[in-house]
Structure 1
């Protein structure tokens, strides 16, 4: 028994000893980890003591042909906040001190948060309703404001809804959230005490929001204020010990030394904005090394197109911070490398002359709105001027007015409210003033001012619970819109030299061919067949040169008629394509002038484009009549709805699509594509499929009436107009469906001026490295040799020379010490244009000098009236380019 007791005692003793040893080891290790190494491991676990401080690469310069800087960089000081546990504890007290120092020294806090106060509103950089909707959703989802909606949805009926249905509900609920509600939710999210005044709440929010928008793995310094003065920076440096987390960095700041000059082609940089509601955009930027929360990127123009060349390679330092956010150790670094310099073909002085001349001419037109017969130039607020080297295609000047100052976007303080309103005006406010100033209610008997507002500036119904109006008649000036490359305008009489070339080259006329211009043209028999040109007056007997000089509409409409009779509707387009005025829609040719920045490419009249345009326009007209249940002759029948509906099944969608395609075919091809039995089959099929017709007992007689409506609209009206001679007759004087950009028109004139060689238009001359050494040069590129006969070119040039010497532009070039050539144009946009506040577009094209042309120009002034006024802008461009000192005042004159 004693032996057994001894063995039992030994086992328990051993177990206790072992347990004591294990517990002692664990306790010792815990003491070591928490006390001895506690601070070190706390910093490592926090992962906020080790930071990367980015070093932005100096953005490459943009210079003009003579090396003058158009966009460059300046070194600036920026105030930043490094977030740590310690600095976060005193965040609000620290920022109170920071705000006071900034305010006392006249500095501006960086403010790029689109959510504004006083009044509460969003200021997104767009006027487009669909983009505004997308940006608002992106803003709210990025900040997690959809989370509560998702959770409520999950509690109720999430399992019963498809993913698309869920997303739709969430989006609708988010859009119902007002700016004020959004602000208050963010105040709660960022734990901002509401004891602070509203303004200060938002100042705290700016910094908290920047921290929120950082990637969870980044923890980079957040910029509080940029481009602060040197003295202010030193004051902060002296007080760093009292401002946990605050530091001063240096940063290259993008600057545009000439302000608005060249903004149309330079573009601007801005903070990255994600437009879609997926992570695709985010991942695309992050893959290229961008920090979505802070980096700036080229947004438009040269800045955007050549972003990869301009941005350079980002550098940075890996540093260790102490608990107050101070750098205590540099662990590694890499140098930033500057972006490439882009040298343009543009001449700064010629560019300035073009912009100044446009501004002055438009101001004169607005100041004297009734100086021209038949035009009200009150809204002459928008225009463009392009000058091109005729022997290379290089752009010498590209002006779009109104312009904007790219520095507004580069300045880290963000757009001021005044700048924002100038760039993105409130359509409703503008519209009400515009309607009153122009007295537009007088054109609409029985309609109130509100009715006219809704008619001319309708509410965009794609955004629910919001009042966003559309400028459907394009009357509001858009500073961010490039009128030189994007605005397609009817060319008016500036197209007549093209008609002359087509007629001479095809052998329809000779330069001596003449017409008795009695100020009218007979388009056909019957009422409205004779078109009068009362503003022009009769010009008597005119040959080609005289017709160009006097801009004779009867002459060129006669020539258009002759071209059609000899070669059909597409003969005019055949030659216009050679000069860059459109492309054959059935070819594989890329529709482009070659210019590097985005452009809209216009098209000349041709039968294919005309058919497609009419097929869409008259399809809408047919659908409207069918839905109304009544045709133009008063015959009534059951309503037939061909409009798309979200509730339509796939079979109904197909049935509607088949019927609409049949209507479009009838519009394009007329009787040969119209089959009554097929229409009856298509309509009957739709009626059987669509539940909205259930129980209506639509009779065969009604279906027959529907088919008659389709016939009279699609065939008798639309197709007969497609086949009518007046289309090419109108096109021959630059009206109808002809539409081109100023860049296209300038290049067409350059092709005439140099004898028939069309060059690719280009803005870039060369790319340089950071040391100014050429990396790549852009060589002139011949797009097409038109092979137009020299005598054809000379005949057209003679007429254009007469325009400037004694014709419609003679007043503008009186006393000019150089022979030039040109053509004015007065482009009517609509027969009802005055009723919605528009008037003719003033156009001018030309080249100089006459004997050995160097540059070609195009000037366009929307709502500028007669084209002779635009010629003064061309004169100022020539003076700058050829260094001509002109003492004669540039006075706005009326004329054609």
Structure 2
């Protein structure tokens, strides 16, 4: 009895345990079913629309096509840079397109066009050989295949061995016709899915274009369209300043790929690579044509639809006067020849900037480099990317700094004399090397007195000159004052020109080197760019306003006709700062500049005394070394008319022979002034 009860009790326990397990499993199943139902409901109700849209997008895909860039005009509306259209053959790869299908299309296209093969690389030929010579490749790699299948070789090792064995002996088997097909296939495979890839856009003949257009149905993905190239209306004139645009092959610059992709560009988009094209990329780039490619369930393109025709980029109106620009370049070349014939055989650069001093407009800029064989090349960008010691041209800024700091007063006279300092250091002016001459501040500019500037610099440092005096041991504070004085005119600071790569010039340490401090006062220590010189003289010409230099005057909407489109933005002259000198002090310096050009004793008289309108300015000579030999940089700055200036200029010649004789470098400035005002008179007279 007890044995039977015990047996029944064990059976009950086992049954209850089984029931519990079944209940747990049932609950788990029900829970999973509940989760599944909720998930399906969530997907269908909450996100059903987005998933449907994703499916639609998989079949209706928008792809951007490139359009021409904006045009560039001069200040008078003369076209400088345009787009020239050219025939183009493109390929758009579908999402499910196979390698075999692409190869078949390439072979058909080769029947209708002649494809250059110059760009084919060894790897391109090897890839094509692998695609079209499978039996030969299998025989060549028989042992390697076994090793790969047995796990004795990785895929990378197998591929490396294959390309190593495919020597020129094998790729030389490709016929000229096969090479053409390989070149076409290379371009077709380099593009991404559903993105038009240019196959050929150079020298596409009418016959090729017509044949391809007539047989598009036989070649899936192939299309005919129009591409473009930049056209420079005035040839090489200012071409370097316009900058370069990448080709379809180059696409986005490697170092800026992520930047451009984030802004919506495609990898093969053409973008500005330098100067104006780069600086105004966001303005000049066009609004892309948008195409919708309709695909079937397999991903093959079955139809296309234009969503947005797009438009070319906005146009730039430059501050440049192209007629003046051409004349300035011609003058530069003429005077290079003259100066070289008179002994300037080592002169290696000539740089010129012409601008409107009242608004910062750059009217013309030109640069030339001369190599040791006398060959001349453009160096326009050197006007703001290279810096030089400019000599006495800066003396107007030195005087105005002296006035501002209270070191000297307007009309103050000093004795120009040889200066002697403890330690044997001596300094003097070029025009007066031995005697004592009492001169005013204006006369100091006229004669280009070094001594007057040295004495002014010493007064700024709180140490009036005395014969055989010891120079101040620490000129840190004085150097800072003098430099800040130069800076307020734009010397030693960036002009703000709307172009990349502008330099600020070079400044040395001023602390315990008082000799260098004195040299700074006469333009023999710090270095400046030609554009900084132009901003400096313009600041004095307009009575004290430093205005940002700029090359773009307006941005205009693209027009479908030859007329300019509506104005989108105007770049007025931006005042960067107003110098802290009084009008009386500025007028004193301007009077001295007038004497430089119009008094017989003036250093610029020989070149500028008879300009078509009265002009004023300053000359400079800086001692430099070239290949260990002593040379000079010659500089000329000025403005005209002397009253109410309309134009200003700066000129730098580098590495001229040490005078005497003094070469007539200022004649270039004279020619520029005369040409400018003769043109203005002609434009005024023309109805």
TM-score computed with the length of structure 1 as normaliser? 0.54
Q: Which one of the candidate residues 58, 63, 71 is aligned to 2:73?
A: 63
Q: Superposed, which structure 2 residues align to 1:608-619 within 5 Å?
A: 610=509
CA gap of 1:331–1:239, structure 2 versus 1, over 3 A, is closer
Structure 1 residue 729: deviation in Å? 0.8
Output the CA distance in 1 between the equivalents of 2:650 and 2:208: 49
Structure 1 residue 610: deviation in Å? 0.9
For the residue of structure 2 that corresponds to 1:554, the secondary structure is: helix
Matched, 1:342 2:316: yes
Q: Which one of the candidate residues 546, 550, 557 is aligned to 1:762?
A: 550
Other-structure match for 2:622: 827
Other-structure match for 2:593: 800
Q: Superposed, which structure 2 residues align to 1:13-92 within 5 Å?
A: 55-81=65-91, 85-86=100-101, 88-89=103-104, 91=106
Q: Which one of the candidate residues 236, 240, 246 is aligned to 1:260?
A: 236
Q: Do 1:384 and 1:400's aligned partners in 2 also have CA atoms closer than 8 Å? A: yes
Q: Which one of the candidate residues 489, 495, 503 is aligned to 1:579?
A: 489
Q: Do 1:390 and 1:855's aligned partners in 2 also have CA atoms closer than 8 Å? A: yes
Output the CA distance in 1 between the equivalents of 2:667 and 2:680: 15
Matched, 1:284 2:259: yes
Q: Superposed, which structure 2 residues align to 1:153-192 within 5 Å?
A: none
Structure 1 residue 195: deviation in Å? 3.4
Structure 1 residue 754: deviation in Å? 1.1
Q: Do 2:70 and 2:313's aligned partners in 1 also have CA atoms closer than 8 Å? A: yes
Matched, 1:855 2:643: no
Q: Do 1:187 and 1:205's aligned partners in 2 also have CA atoms closer than 8 Å? A: no
Q: Superposed, which structure 2 residues align to 1:462-481 within 5 Å?
A: 479=378
In structure 2, the gaps of 5 or more residues are: 1-56, 124-147, 154-159, 464-476, 560-564, 682-687
Output the CA distance in 2 between the equivalents of 1:774 and 1:186: 61
Q: Do 1:812 and 1:868's aligned partners in 2 also have CA atoms closer than 8 Å? A: no
Other-structure match for 2:277: 303
Output the CA distance in 2 between the equivalents of 1:817 and 1:314: 51
For the residue of structure 2 that corresponds to 1:776, the secondary structure is: strand
Q: Do 1:110 and 1:226's aligned partners in 2 also have CA atoms closer than 8 Å? A: no
Other-structure match for 1:422: none
Output the CA distance in 1 between the equivalents of 2:122 and 2:406: 65
Deviates more, 1:844-853 or 1:394-403: 394-403
Output the CA distance in 1 between the equivalents of 2:91 and 2:557: 34
CA deviation profile, 1:308-366 (whole Å, cap 9, x unmatched): 121121114345799xxx9984345421123222222222222222222223323433x
Q: Which one of the candidate residues 598, 601, 604 is aligned to 1:809?
A: 604
Other-structure match for 1:500: 399
Q: Superposed, which structure 2 residues align to 1:307-326 within 5 Å?
A: 307-318=281-292
Other-structure match for 1:98: 113
Matched, 1:488 2:387: yes
Q: Do 1:765 and 1:778's aligned partners in 2 also have CA atoms closer than 8 Å? A: yes
Output the CA distance in 2 between the equivalents of 1:876 and 1:800: 19
Other-structure match for 1:775: 568
CA deviation profile, 1:196-234 (whole Å, cap 9, x unmatched): 59x99997776555445433x345333323364657644
Q: Which one of the candidate residues 610, 632, 635 is aligned to 1:840?
A: 632
CA deviation profile, 1:564-623 (whole Å, cap 9, x unmatched): 2358333312322221223xxxxxxxx532221124343586xxx616xxxxxxxxxxxx
Q: Superposed, which structure 2 residues align to 1:414-813 within 5 Å?
A: 479=378, 482-510=381-409, 512-514=411-413, 517=416, 521-522=419-420, 524-527=421-424, 529-531=425-427, 541=437, 542-566=439-463, 568-582=478-492, 591-602=493-504, 610=509, 722-736=511-525, 738-771=526-559, 772-805=565-598, 806=600, 807-813=602-608
Other-structure match for 1:653: none
Q: Do 1:564 and 1:728's aligned partners in 2 also have CA atoms closer than 8 Å? A: no
Other-structure match for 2:171: 193
Output the CA distance in 1 between the equivalents of 2:122 and 2:408: 65
For the residue of structure 1 that corresponds to 2:606, the secondary structure is: coil
Q: Do 2:415 and 2:436's aligned partners in 1 also have CA atoms closer than 8 Å? A: yes
Output the CA distance in 2 between the equivalents of 1:339 and 1:110: 33
For the residue of structure 1 that corresponds to 2:605, the secondary structure is: coil
Structure 1 residue 763: deviation in Å? 2.2
User: Which has the greater radius of gyration?
Assistant: 2
Q: Do 1:581 and 1:604's aligned partners in 2 also have CA atoms closer than 8 Å? A: no
Output the CA distance in 2 between the equivalents of 1:113 and 1:259: 32
CA deviation profile, 1:744-797 (whole Å, cap 9, x unmatched): 211111110111122222222222112411122223322222131222222211
Q: Do 1:539 and 1:550's aligned partners in 2 also have CA atoms closer than 8 Å? A: no
Structure 1 residue 258: deviation in Å? 1.6
For the residue of structure 2 that corresponds to 1:269, the secondary structure is: coil
Q: Do 1:265 and 1:597's aligned partners in 2 also have CA atoms closer than 8 Å? A: no
For the residue of structure 2 that corresponds to 1:796, the secondary structure is: helix
Other-structure match for 2:351: 384
The RMSD of aligned alpha carbons is 4.5
CA deviation profile, 1:135-157 (whole Å, cap 9, x unmatched): xxxxxxxxxxxxxxxx9xxx99x
Q: Do 1:391 and 1:854's aligned partners in 2 also have CA atoms closer than 8 Å? A: yes
Output the CA distance in 2 between the equivalents of 1:783 and 1:763: 16
Q: Do 2:88 and 2:198's aligned partners in 1 also have CA atoms closer than 8 Å? A: no
CA gap of 1:191–1:269, structure 2 versus 1, over 3 A, is farther
Structure 1 residue 396: deviation in Å? 1.8
For the residue of structure 1 that corresponds to 2:401, the secondary structure is: helix
CA gap of 1:245–1:362, structure 2 versus 1, over 3 A, is farther
Other-structure match for 2:191: 214
Q: Superposed, which structure 2 residues align to 1:334-373 within 5 Å?
A: 334-365=308-339, 367-368=340-341, 371=342
Output the CA distance in 1 between the equivalents of 2:59 and 2:169: 24
Output the CA distance in 1 between the equivalents of 2:258 and 2:243: 24
CA deviation profile, 1:365-415 (whole Å, cap 9, x unmatched): 3x42xx35xxx54342x3322222222222222333359xxxxxxxxxxxx
Matched, 1:394 2:361: yes
Q: Do 1:110 and 1:225's aligned partners in 2 also have CA atoms closer than 8 Å? A: no
CA deviation profile, 1:651-683 (whole Å, cap 9, x unmatched): xxxxxxxxxxxxxxxxxxxxxxxxxxxxxxxxx
CA gap of 1:348–1:816, structure 2 versus 1, over 3 A, is same
Deviates more, 1:82-91 or 1:543-552: 82-91
Structure 1 residue 855: deviation in Å? 1.6
In structure 1, the gaps of 5 or more residues are: 1-46, 103-108, 117-150, 157-180, 404-429, 439-475, 583-590, 612-721, 887-896
CA deviation profile, 1:403-462 (whole Å, cap 9, x unmatched): 9xxxxxxxxxxxxxxxxxxxxxxxxxx9xxx5xx79xxxxxxxxxxxxxxxxxxxxxxxx
CA gap of 1:210–1:477, structure 2 versus 1, over 3 A, is farther
More strand by share: 2
CA gap of 1:232–1:506, structure 2 versus 1, over 3 A, is same
Deviates more, 1:849-858 or 1:249-258: 249-258
